[in-house]
Amino acid sequence: MKRLLLIATLALVASCQLVYECPEDGKVFKCSSEPLEVCGIKTVNGEQIKETFANSCQACSAGKVEFTIERKCEDYLEEAQFYTPSDKKIQECDDQIEPKCAWFDQDVKCLVYPCAINAKNKCSSCQVKNVLYTTEGKCSKSIQFHQMIKNE
């Protein structure tokens, strides 16, 4: 019950990390000349390739990436597996058990540590509001502590 209350509280104090899905045809309609570094992500052979760009417009042009996440790629754990915009649209998950550590977006202000929860698989963690990415296996307090310091 306390964990559920914590998750509800986190959802109230959080603001969503900006995820921008690139148009499939490479045309970008929401361009800004202001630099706002983003992590551009493209999936190649089941692996996410991440690269930092000056802004979403630059990253999405000519189909370089599928989607972008606010902030530089280096601001996230190297092993982070981000949710694609289509992952967030899945309504139902299977019961397959593949433990994941589900990390809340960096704008969540955690009341207690860690700033992540254990999930039985990627799909089930995607159903939790404000979870941005996962890492393999159950959450490790030492990794979470490293992540908290890195973001401050």
Q: What angle do CA 113, 19, 101 make, to 5 degrees?
A: 35
Which residues span the domain enclosing 135? 2-151
**pLDDT digit string (tens) for 59-107?**
887 567 999 999 999 999 899 999 887 777 776 788 889 999 988 887 7
- Domain total of the chain: 1
Q: How far apart are CA 46 and CA 111, in angstroms?
A: 35
What stretch of H or E contains 56?
helix 56-60
CB atoms within 10 A of CB 118: 14
- pTM exceeds cut of 0.85: no
